[in-house]
Structure 1
């Protein structure tokens, strides 16, 4: 063959290291290579020398004799050169026995030439080896480039072969599954990719297996959780897509998946904001409805109270007029008796309806936060006996014992006397209504210091009546509007059904609380109210 310009892609002469322990053969091969246009930088005569020279010169190809003198033959030397330096090897040998060839094949050589070496065969072997090396290197670089891209993707990427065995995991997939790539390579996809249903916790079909079976793109259903190697679970979204080889058959599947926890949280936040806005609109609507209701209640209450007041006044005037004419003194007169009875019924019913209307108005004001409070100094030693005196006659007529426990050194209290009067009045009415004969009604007043950031005072007002217990099932409902306990009104005194409701509303409005206890034959209502002390002196006993 004529001399050729054997150069690489950069225009540099291709260098070939000859490893041959026969000097005559080595010289002949060198002449042949140089005649073909290649450069021979050195000739090594042993395996060890070949490794040292290749490391120092890093030639483009090593032409290696299989049989070398010394402890290391050409196959052993070629194996180390390739593993260390990645330099392609072409074997030159006069031996072609099966054992030698099997050993040589195991090292992945780029070609063979048989001795005696023919120039044309040598040229073909070298150019073929160089071309294969370039293609392998380009393929390797392309694979590395693709792997770098996949590793850089923020989503998890898993690549499997046609047998569903793991071939690649990127960093995101490692983090999400808890498996390192070197651990997962070769395992079945189902061993490292476990998905379950969010609600039922039941295992779900693996999308990789479905994609391999159907040959189509597969998306995960909603409410899918990935369970990692460490047992952690989190919501994911993903897709599995098959890829094909040159023959058109499925070569494997690429699975792409991502943690959607943040997206789920963002959706929940947006939903919460939407719900909050909806609730605000509903609140505005409710406020408007409440205002309409309050206005209606005010109007109706006023319209009810005015005629009832007039009827009550008219009945009173009729009673006075009849008395002046002497009709009321005629006790034996049937007409006078009927008139007196009807007037009493009329007065009682008017009073009852007025109480109901007044209670409804007070409840409306308390609910609308429009109830007026006037703080005054209250001397309990003077005020409480006067309040209770109005109930003593009723208690005595029903043979009930009414007691007051009031400390003589209780200091003057600053609070709303109207509200306190209403609370005690309703509680006493309630006690007298439900207390049997020969039982006791006790009013207890006490003052305590409450430990707060700054010391404060709390007024306790307690009304207890003996001989009666409220059923445990009724206690939670005792302050509800119009709630009545069947068979408890011993004296058939009735009422509006709003008394205890008003008590709780008033106590709460004043910043306090009220509890009820009923056991061991006694029922107690205890109200706790924040108060402040006045500067007025304590009256002497």
Structure 2
């Protein structure tokens, strides 16, 4: 299909020459207009593929002003035509992000090459905008906080969950600021090294835990990963960030509880459903005379029960499944002596209520 061209030129001699050139080059000339307002009207009516625009048009709008309006309304590529090479004019043209600037007089071959380059560059730009639009939609709809950081380490973009992470509703509070300014002091050097290595080697960032600061200075624990992407035509590091503050607080609480349990005078032992020892506190070490490293990963049957075969299923599992607060007295051979122990057992279940193991509280009788 022939590319459709609109000429905006108030010099009839030059426009006649361009008409001849375009016909010989095989383009479809939609029309020739002499002022900016008429050019805008024809853009809306005819939808040209390329506009050849004289810089110094007569009338209310010059060529540069007309181009700015056309770009904002229709996004049609414009090639400027002028004999003006003044720096001030060139700078105004640059600011319009036009697709070419041809200095008069212009030959046919140069015109044809410029039209083809402008057309395909514009198609590439449209594809790029579509990809970025889809990517923005992906970021916006993501269930995770996403922050884009440029190669200088400054924030380029972030989604709504990213704003929520930093405790603000306004993207302007964060755009352009160095990400390191929101990293906790104790993590600054480590994270700076990760960012610099990522940029230098072109690789992402493996999962890492650091502390972030919100815009109010509050500290939060986060886990993040990073991957390089192209955004706004530039290389950026996409960080997927998750607030793990509650998770870390829960882990610390569990660690404190585990430490307390580990130092109980009485024994506390956990088994998986196959009877393998998963944990063994210091109380068990005292009662059985066996260290934790010797028992974890070993079966219940390794414990010496007096006078009979040892069966985790019969002794512990089945009774505890029937009664979640099961109590039993068993005789164990400890240091060559028969020792009577009382075991209190309960099921260990996950959040979905599925049995994962058994915990036994062990006390000497």
Task: Give TM class, smaller chain.
Answer: 0.5 to 0.7
User: Bigger CA drift: 181-190 or 232-241?
Assistant: 232-241
Alignment TM-score, normalising by the size of structure 2: 0.60
Deviation at 1:96, TM superposition (A): 2.8
Q: Which one of the candidate residues 130, 139, 150 is aligned to 1:150?
A: 139
Change in Cα spacing, 1:88 to 1:207, as seen in structure 2 (3 Å) is farther
2:116 corresponds in structure 1 to 127
Where do 5+ consecutive residues of structure 1 fail to align? 1-6, 8-12, 196-201, 245-249, 290-541
Alignment TM-score, normalising by the size of structure 1: 0.42
Change in Cα spacing, 1:162 to 1:134, as seen in structure 2 (3 Å) is same
2:222 corresponds in structure 1 to 236
Partner SS for 1:77: helix
Residues 22-50 of structure 1 deviation map (CA, whole Å, 9 limit, x = unaligned)? 23332332232233222222322112222
Indicate yes or no: 2:20 matched with 1:37: no
Name the count of aligned residue pairs: 263
2:67 corresponds in structure 1 to 78
Deviation at 1:167, TM superposition (A): 1.3
Q: If you compute each CA radius of gyration, which structure gives the higher value, 1 or 2?
A: 1
Kindly indicate which of the two structures has a greater share of residues assigned to strand.
2
Deviation at 1:236, TM superposition (A): 2.4
Change in Cα spacing, 1:226 to 1:102, as seen in structure 2 (3 Å) is closer
Structure 2 counterparts to residues 27-426 of structure 1, below 5 A:
27-179=16-168, 180-191=170-181, 193-195=182-184, 203-205=186-188, 208-215=191-198, 217=205, 219-221=207-209, 224-230=210-216, 233-240=219-226, 252-260=236-244
Q: Assess if the C-alpha contact under 8 Å between 2:187 and 2:211 holds in 1.
A: no
RMSD of the TM alignment (CA)? Answer: 3.9
Distance 2:23 2:326 in 1: 98
Q: Assess if the C-alpha contact under 8 Å between 1:29 and 1:117 holds in 2.
A: no
Structure 2 counterparts to residues 482-493 of structure 1, below 5 A:
none
Q: Assess if the C-alpha contact under 8 Å between 1:207 and 1:220 holds in 2.
A: no
Partner SS for 2:29: coil
Change in Cα spacing, 1:155 to 1:207, as seen in structure 2 (3 Å) is farther
- Structure possessing the higher relative contact order (Cα contacts under 8 Å, 6 or more residues apart): 2
Distance 2:35 2:9 in 1: 7
Change in Cα spacing, 1:172 to 1:58, as seen in structure 2 (3 Å) is same
Deviation at 1:130, TM superposition (A): 0.6
Change in Cα spacing, 1:28 to 1:155, as seen in structure 2 (3 Å) is same
Partner SS for 1:220: strand
Residues 262-318 of structure 1 deviation map (CA, whole Å, 9 limit, x = unaligned)? 75688799999998997x999865x859xxxxxxxxxxxxxxxxxxxxxxxxxxxxx
Deviation at 1:260, TM superposition (A): 3.1
Change in Cα spacing, 1:205 to 1:218, as seen in structure 2 (3 Å) is farther
Deviation at 1:168, TM superposition (A): 1.9
Change in Cα spacing, 1:206 to 1:229, as seen in structure 2 (3 Å) is farther
Partner SS for 1:186: coil
